[in-house]
Amino acid sequence: MTPLAKILIDRIIATGPISLADYMTECLLHPKHGYYSTRDPFGTDGDFTTAPEISQMFGELLGLCMAQTWLEQGSPSSFILVELGPGRGTLMADVLRATQGVVGFHAAAQIMLVEASSKLQQVQRERLADYDVTWIGTVGELPDGPLYLLANEFFDALPIHQYIMEKDGWRERLVGVADGELAFGASGVADLPTLNHRRKDCRNNDLVEVSGAATAIAAEIAARIAAHGGVAIIIDYGDWRSLGDTLQALRNHEFDSPLAHPGEADITAHVDFEALAVAAVSHTPVSKMLPQGDLLQRLGILQRAEALAKGLSGETLETHLTALKRLTEPTEMGTLFKAIAFYPNGATPPPGFTP
Ligand code: SAH
C-alpha cells in the first residue's frame, strides 16, 4: 500500500467516501505524496512522454503560430505569454527559441508559467534560466493584459467527477473503502439540472464525466481574451463530448488500476472539448476542434521535418523520423490528441485553425 493510500483510507474511514475529483487532486498534487509533487515523470525514464518531449518541432510550430497571431493582432507592445502545466519547460523553451527572430515579440512578452508542483517549477527554472519567468499557481493570478496562452496535456490532469445515469437522476461515483482497501462506490440518486442536456444522449447506467475545474479555467481564459485580446491554444487527448469512463492511471509506462497506487501513478481523464468550448463561447469565438496531426501538418511540420533531416544521419535521423510519425500519424498521437483555440471577437483564428 502506498503512503498516500494509507492517508486516504484513514480519512475515508473517519469522514466518509470522497469524490473522484478529490481523489485525483490528492493523487496528483498532495504536497508530500502527490505524483507531480514528488517526481519528474516525463521522458523515457519516466512514466510517459509528451509531444514537446518527443520533438522540438512541436514547440517550434506552436511558437510561430503564437507569434503570427500576435502580429495579426497588431503586435501589442506588452502581453503575457503563458503556459499552463509546463512539465519540464521544454515546450516554452522551444517556443522561445523559435520566436527569437520575430522582431519585438520577446521584448513585449511577459513569460508566466502556471504550475502547481514546486518540484516541476524547479525543473522549469533550470530549463528556462536564460529568460525572465514568473511562476503562479492558478490562472486567477494572471495580471490583466493581452493573453497568449498554450496548454498541452494540462486539462487532462484536472480533476473530474463521474456520474451514472439512473431513471430518476444521477449517482456520483465515489471512492470509499472495502475490506481495508480503496474501492469504488456510488452516492444516492440526485437530480442534477446541470446534466439535463445529457439525458437525451445517455441511457440508464451510462457514465458521464464532468470537470468543473476545467470549465472554470476555460471560461476564465476566454473572458481575459475577450477583454484584452490574445489567443488560447489547448491541446490534449480527448474528444467532443465525453461518454463513458476514461479515467486512466499510468505507472512505469504501463496502465494501472486507478485505485492501486495513489501518488505513484499518473491519473488523467480524456478532455471533453465540447465542455471547454461551451464554457468559452459566451466570451469569445471558439475554433473548430481538429486532430493534432492535422494542426501540425497545416503549420508546416513536414517542411520543418525535411529541413531538420538535412543535417541528420544514421540513428539521429531515424529518431527524428520516428518522432514525426509519433506526433502526426493516426495510429500514434495524430488523432487521439485534439486541438482547439479561443480568439477575440472580430479576429481571425490563429494559423492552422478554422472558425
Ligand atoms: N505540458 C507539459 C506537461 C504536461 S503534464 C508537456 O506537454 O510536457 C501536466 C502538467 O500540469 C505538470 O507540469 C503538472 O505539474 C501540472 N499541473 C497539473 N495539475 C495542475 C493544476 N491544477 N494547476 C497547475 N498545474 C498543474
CA distance 14 to 12: 5
Instruction: Please give the pLDDT value at position 243.
Output: 84
Ligand 1, atom 3, lies closest to the CA of 87
Contacts 24+ apart (CB under 8 A), 35-38: 35/263, 35/264, 35/265, 35/266, 35/267, 36/116, 36/117, 36/119, 36/120, 36/157, 37/117, 37/118, 37/119, 38/119, 38/263
- Residue 197 Cα to ligand 1 middle (Å): 30
Which atom from ligand 1 is nearest to the alpha carbon of 266?
5
- Strands 337-342 and 230-239, by their bridges, are antiparallel
pLDDT value, residue 44: 63
Report CA(123)–ligand 1 centroid distance (Å). 12
For ligand 1, atom 18: residue with the closest CA: 157
Nearest CA to ligand 1 atom 20: 116
Could you give the CA distance from residue 155 to residue 81 in angstroms, rounded to a whole number? 18
Q: What is the pLDDT along the chain (355 residues), one digit of tens a residue?
A: 999 999 999 999 999 999 999 999 999 999 999 999 888 888 666 777 899 999 999 999 999 999 999 999 999 999 999 999 999 999 999 999 999 999 999 999 999 999 999 999 999 999 999 999 999 999 999 999 999 999 999 999 999 999 999 999 999 999 999 999 999 999 999 999 999 999 999 999 999 999 999 999 999 999 999 999 999 999 999 999 988 999 999 998 889 999 999 999 999 999 999 999 999 999 999 999 999 999 999 999 999 999 999 999 999 999 999 999 999 999 999 999 999 999 999 999 999 999 9
Ligand 1 nearest-atom number relative to CA 90: 8
Task: Supply the pLDDT for residue 39.
Answer: 82
**Cα of 115 to ligand 1 centre, how many Å?**
6
Cell 492552422 belongs to 352
Distance from residue 136's CA to the centre of ligand 1 (Å): 12
Using CB distances shorter than 6 Å, the residues near ligand 1 are: 28, 36, 42, 50, 52-53, 85-87, 91, 114-117, 120, 152-154, 157-158
> Looking at residue 47, what is its pLDDT?
75
Angle at 181 between CA 179 and CA 183, to 5 degrees: 95
Mutate to test the pocket of ligand 1, among 30, 35, 36 (most ligand atoms within 8 A of CB): 36
Q: Going by CA atoms, what residue is nearest to atom 16 of ligand 1?
A: 85
